[in-house]
Structures are given as structure tokens and as C-alpha cells.
């Protein structure tokens, strides 16, 4: 199983990545062991996750989401949050 995840950083930036373990990866980002982007901007919270059967499917979705504007990413987070309520 692979996961796409979106993190909010201390500068309000949104980091997008993939992993097999979201909790472990979040801890790595918070410890400064994550991506270059999150090393200079502290990861604050997980905004969104999506689950995929294959790494290639997760990578494809990551590539798509990374091209989105900040507003579109936040809209995804809001939409999913509303659906869960």
C-alpha cells in the first residue's frame, strides 16, 4: 500500500509526497529528515492522505497534485473533510 500525503508547513506552504507509512514519514519530516522543502520549513500537520495499491499509481497522483495551485490543494482538503463529516 502507498499513500499520497499533503503536509502543512510552518510557513503555511503545502508539501506533497508519497510513502508506505504516513505516520513514520511525518515524524521524519518533523525531525528534519524529510524532503529538502520540509527541512527548511517545519512540518506542522498532515492535511490529507489518499491510499493507492501501487507505487506507480501514487507517483502519478503525486505528480498531478504537485502541479496544482495552493488553493486547489486546499479545496481538495476541504472537500474531503466535508465528505467525512
Whether residue 20 has pLDDT greater than 60 = yes
- Report pLDDT for 24: 96
In sequence order, which residues have a C-beta less than 8 Å from that of residue 47 and are 6 or more positions away? 6, 7, 8, 14, 73, 77
The residue ranking higher by pLDDT, 66 or 36, is 66
**Is the per-residue pLDDT at 84 higher than 80?**
no
- 3, 51 in Cβ contact below 8 A? yes
* For range 64-84, the mean pLDDT: 87
Q: What percent of the chain has pLDDT over 70?
A: 93
Q: What is the mean pLDDT of residues 36-51?
A: 92
Average pLDDT, the chain: 92
Domain architecture of the chain: domains with CATH: 2-84 (3.40.1440.10)
Question: What pLDDT does residue 52 have?
Answer: 98
Number of C-beta neighbours around residue 44 at 10 A: 17
Amino acid at each position: 500500500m502507498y499513500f499520497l500525503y499533503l503536509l502543512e508547513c510552518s510557513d503555511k506552504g503545502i508539501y506533497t509526497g508519497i510513502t508506505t507509512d504516513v505516520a513514520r514519514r511525518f515524524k521524519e519530516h518533523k525531525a528534519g529528515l524529510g524532503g529538502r522543502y520540509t527541512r527548511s520549513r517545519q512540518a506542522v500537520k498532515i492535511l490529507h492522505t489518499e491510499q493507492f495499491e501501487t507505487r506507480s499509481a501514487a507517483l502519478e497522483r503525486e505528480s498531478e497534485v504537485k502541479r496544482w495551485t495552493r488553493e486547489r490543494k486546499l479545496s481538495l482538503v476541504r472537500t474531503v473533510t466535508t465528505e467525512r463529516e
